Chain A
Amino acid sequence: MARVRARDAAAFEALYDAHHRLVYGVAMRMLGDVAGAEDVTQAIFLKIWSSPHLFESGNFAGWLVRITRNRALDVLRSKSYRHEELPEAQPAEEMLEETAFAHIDADRVRAALAQLPPEQRDLIELGFFGGVTHDEMARRAGIPLGTVKTRIRAGLRKLRAALEGTVSV
């Protein structure tokens, strides 16, 4: 990112090559159409190019995921794809204690997700990719709100534990 801040096009291209699959994949899953996913991907990377100072330090991939998800939520809002309430955007500027999963890849996360009970996995995916609030999840699944919350928490804890071997601090 230091070289990108110095307006180095080659460094930016390498950054795009390394990360665009993550951005495009999240946008594609959330919006479900190629044109929308390409628009979000283009907006995210041009934002990084024009305002690289927005990323200060910490887990770059985590930050990238947050701003991509927020942008896709904005598209869902602006297009009025849905009528129910959408969740609040996740704070992108938030810096945790630099905790991230090292050497993580799609296969490892898919395997960890596959280990979750379906009733937990479905709610987690619906919340993260579907941009659905916990109230809406309870309504759709026909279960109490408290059950939705406890299932999400239990699922995230299991997911964390399954990926624990790849945690770096």
Chain B
Amino acid sequence: MPQHETMLDDVAVYALGSLPPQDAQRVRAHLDTCPECREEYEQLRPATDALAYSVEACPDLEHGAVVASPLLKTRIMDRVRREAVVPPRTNIAEMRAVRPIVWPAYAVAAALLIVALITGIINISLSDQVRQKNADLALTQAHSRLLARDLANQRIALADLVAADSQRYGVAHGQVVVHGKRLYLAMDALPPPPKGKVYQAWTLRSGATRMSPSVTFVPDRSGVAVVSVPVDASRIAAVAVSVEPDGGSKQPTSTPTFVLKLS
């Protein structure tokens, strides 16, 4: 095999991030001097980045519902909100109190300068607005995809809840429904939790000794709540629900509303 062809193979392994440090340094130095290898690298690198999407944590029930704990977001956002900056408010009254002083001899020149400045500011402002709108659009698209996914999940949940082959377990104020690997809480006439509290689901993995925290929820006004518990039901030995402080707890702090052992 020609020597340069071997180097192109090394570039591919480097793009994948699988070269030992000393080989990686050699390839990186070569990329600085070889346009052909650099082009190959720039072709392959996005493909390796894309690999990550194949394992994206997936709330789709069809894929086992691998999701991060809601408590993780709570922990992160608690710190972020503590450090966030509240946007300053402009004091209009103070602005109006400051009046510009203009000397007549320079009025025309000053006016032209102001027009030029305003034009420049408008241009900068418009490009900032375009960038901002693009960023907002990207976020809106991401939210749209999440909404579409939620709708798909709701359709799956509805089908599971009415399926003849679903297993149903009676519990206080409702049922636990299991269909394949998916698990739902179908609560009815569930009293509203006290102020500042929510209901929280707990799951016990087969072989585990401690309950793991799961989703929090509140029933609607008629006491109904249909909750998809993000867990592989085939690996769960028990499920429980308790009343917890808003935001959820790491371990139960109240007597569970129910504890159900799954057969």
Contacts and interface: CB of A to CB of B under 8 A. Distances in A.
Contacts of A85: 20
A96 B45 contact: yes
A156 B16 contact: yes
A100 B49 contact: yes
Given A22-B56, A25-B56, A105-B145, A9 B77 contact: yes
B79 interface: yes
B121 to A, nearest CB: 18
A153 B52 contact: no
B52 A124 contact: no
A127 B47 CA distance: 13
B contact face: mostly helix, strand, loop, or mixed: helix
Interface in B194-239: none
Nearest to B24: A88
B19 A88 contact: yes
Contacts of B9: 146, 149-150, 152-153
Interface residues of A, number: 78
A96 B68 contact: no
B108 interface: no
B140 to A, nearest CB: 9
B85 A7 contact: yes
Given A87-B17, A99-B42, A101-B46, A109 B54 contact: yes
A61 B20 contact: no
A9 B9 CA distance: 44
Interface residues of B, number: 60
B127 to A, nearest CB: 12
Nearest to A147: B9
A96 B49 CA distance: 12
Interface in A26-70: 26, 28-29, 34, 37-38, 41-42, 45-46, 49, 59, 61-62, 65-66, 68-69
Contacts of B55: 25-26, 28-29, 106, 129
A3 interface: yes
Interface string B54-73: 11111100000011110011
A134 B57 contact: no
A134 B24 CA distance: 11
Most-contacted residue by chain B among A25, A101, A108 (CB, 10 A): A25
A8 interface: yes
B50 interface: yes
A17 B66 contact: no
Contacts of A157: 12, 43-44, 47
Contacts of A2: 131-132, 135
B75 A42 contact: yes
Contacts of A96: 42, 45-46
Given A46-B76, A133-B19, A149-B13, A21 B56 contact: yes
B96 interface: no
Most-contacted residue by chain A among B18, B42, B55, B85 (CB, 10 A): B18
B84 A28 contact: no
A71 interface: no
B163 interface: no
A22 B84 CA distance: 24
Interface of B: 1, 6, 8-13, 15-21, 24-25, 28, 42-59, 66-69, 72-73, 75-77, 79-81, 83-85, 87, 131-132, 135, 139, 142-143, 145-146
